[in-house]
Amino acid sequence: MAEELIISTSSDKQERYKALIPQIEALVADEPDLIANLSNIAAALKQAMNFFWVGFYLVKENQLVLGPFQGPIACTRINFGKGVCGAAWKERKTIIVPNVDEFPGHIACSSASKSEIVLPAFKDGEVVMVLDVDSDQLNDFDEQDAAALQQVMHIIERFL
């Protein structure tokens, strides 16, 4: 596995995702350990996409519990249906929030977060974790992010 990420400097985020996703595939290809892989994926996303906060919450019993992440410290536990993460778990779908202040029940781990995207990953038909990405800019995520990050979730689902 290459241990250095080649980062596209394109101003087009689609191009940056295109350069990144095959490298994420390679990064996890020979490693079965979940925490090791999620840690490197969070770091690769932070480094290549310069996200304010990016990380995973893992379903443990009846809660989402903080997993590997990059960025400021964050809330450790989120209940089913609560916040954007809990809503993505409950609704079993990707949620894009252009303005977190307008999302009922948004959990503000950092007052600097302005917009957010959360995607669930599935094992045997059940949500087992979510990927959460926060931006300090309003309206920073769109369908391009959803599609690219969905590819990352599919890579993750292979080693769950």
Binding site for ligand SME (CB under 6 A): 53, 74-75, 78, 83-85, 106-107, 109, 113, 116, 132, 134
Find the residue with minimal CB distance to ligand SME.
Answer: 83
- 3-class secondary structure, 56: strand
Give the nearer residue to ligand SME in terms of CB position, either 15 or 101. Answer: 101
Give the nearer residue to ligand SME in terms of CB position, either 40 or 134. Answer: 134
Report, in Å, the least distance between residue 46 CB and ligand SME: 13
Report, in Å, the least distance between residue 24 CB and ligand SME: 20
d(CA 70, CA 35): 13
d(CA 160, CA 155): 9
SS3 content of the chain, % helix, strand, coil (to 5): 40, 25, 35
